[in-house]
Amino acid sequence: MDGEDRGAAPGFGRLDEAGRKELWAALALRHCPGLGNRRVARLLHEFGGAYAAIRAASKPGQWKKAGIGPEIAARAAGDSWRDKALLEWERLRRVDCGLLIWTDPAYPQALRQLPDAPSFLYCRGDLALLRAPAVAVVGSRLCTEQGRLIARQISHDLSRHGVTVISGLAAGIDRNAHLGALHGIGSSIAVLGAGIDVPYPLKSADARAGLEERGLILSEYGPGVQPQPGFFPVRNRLISALALAVVVIEAARRSGSLITARLALEQGRDVYAVPGPALEPSSFGCHELVRQGARPVFSAEDILANLAQELSSYALPEVLRLPEAETVETETAPKRRAEKEAVAGGRTFPLPAELTGGAERVLVFLREAPGAHIDEICRGCGFSASAASYCMLHMELAGLIYQLPGLRYKAV
């Protein structure tokens, strides 16, 4: 393949002869009957690439090294895959996008480790983001207004500290995660459940435009491939694999976000959940995750603090590192409040009427004990953990308090 990764993947027209051979062989493996992602990944590992794997298919017994029998090897050595491979070949030649092939040094090592890694990816945008530390932020398509605000704020703050935010470009939480992150240096990556040229969903068109300009879009599906329900759980494995951790914001009991969380745990990633109102259906999934051991978080600072050891291995500019609590308190907090108001369209959210009494107790307590930990607030105000989380979230959204690192709070 010609050239090195300088932020953009080579498109079809920039592939040299070796690159085109590898791409054609990858299409052969993709469309060979009886070969799924797991078997293809075993072949890639065994032979070092798709072209070498296809050449080995005609040699008796070679594919047995990857645990694949002679019948499927014979299909690959024949031409049963050719018509479908040629159709995708002709389509990709006409699409304006890059190609990230398994043999390319820019192919993410985190994806190579998947048992069902794709042989190549379509991409648009800045490949350099694949080398940055990343956190996945996912959640419900049918989210609340507060959920949208939280997704934007957390993603913006992560990106402001040099962490790339990954999501799936769906409407709701995903879209707002991308929009929040695109305004920071960490930017954002979207992994699609459809062809890279398919404008889906239309509600996320603004996020897509920003991602193509200053972020990154990835898809393992061929040009023109329309979204199908089964594609989204499959693409979720890529979202979680590319991230150091997964943050779930608003998820029903049956949610694709919970699939992403499960995949993250299987891949050895941390899972965080943002607790919500106890009786809100869109929060049931997050509450279940917490019961299963996910760490509850309330801000980007919580996430950054929990990932401090992993982030220390990245050469982040000093200015982007998480400030100490004193700096957050005296310099950063007013700016963060202003950012929250800007994200919310220049306004804060009214406090629910049922929380008025509890909020007054919290404000009295915090004026006497500024910077108190959430556990101290629970004891001092007589709250359960879930009631405190609900109350503090709404108070922060209402602009009455702001959060310091380590689940500590101060009154405004």
The Cα 310–Cα 306 span in angstroms is 9
Q: Look-up: residue for tokens 């709701």?
A: 172
CB 191 within 8 A of CB 239: yes
* DSSP labels, 289-300: HHHTTPEE--SH
Does 80 or 336 have the greater pLDDT score?
A: 80
- Asked if pLDDT for residue 322 goes beyond 50, the answer is no
Residue 329 phi, psi (nearest 5): -70, -45
* pLDDT exceeds cutoff 80 at 129: yes
Question: What's the pLDDT tens digit per position in 42-72?
Answer: 999 999 999 999 999 999 899 999 999 999 9
pTM here is: 0.76
**What CATH architecture applies to the domain 127-320?**
3-Layer(aba) Sandwich (3.40)
User: Which pLDDT does position 406 carry in this prediction?
Assistant: 63
pLDDT of residue 204 exceeding 90: yes
Give the residue carrying structure tokens 């799924």: 36
Q: Which amino acid is at 51?
A: Y
The domain spans of the chain are 12-95, 127-320, 325-411
Strand order in the sheet with 372-373: 372-373, 408-411, 401-404
Asked if pLDDT for residue 324 goes beyond 50, the answer is no
Tell me the pLDDT of the chain averaged across its residues.
85
Cis preceding-peptide flag for 405 (omega within 30 of 0): no
Question: How distant, in Å, are the alpha carbons of 79, 159, 167, 259 from that of 281?
Answer: 51, 29, 22, 17
* Arithmetic mean of pLDDT, 207-211: 95
For 325-411, the fitting CATH number among 1.10.10.10, 1.20.58.1880, 1.20.1260.10, 1.10.10.60 is 1.10.10.10
Question: Please, are residues 199 and 231 in contact by the beta-carbon 8 Å criterion?
Answer: no
Task: Report the pLDDT value the prediction gives residue 284, as an integer from 0 to 100.
Answer: 87
pLDDT in tens, 236-271: 999 999 999 999 999 877 777 888 898 988 898 999
C-alpha to C-alpha distances, 412 to 5, 298, 334, 348, 383, nearest whole angstrom: 47, 17, 9, 13, 21
Q: What is the DSSP letter of 138?
A: E
What lies within 8 Å, CB to CB, of 373 at 6+ separation is 406, 407, 408
Retrieve residue 82's tokens.
């050719």
| Entry field: residues in the chain | 412
How far apart CA 239 and CA 111 sit, in angstroms, is 10
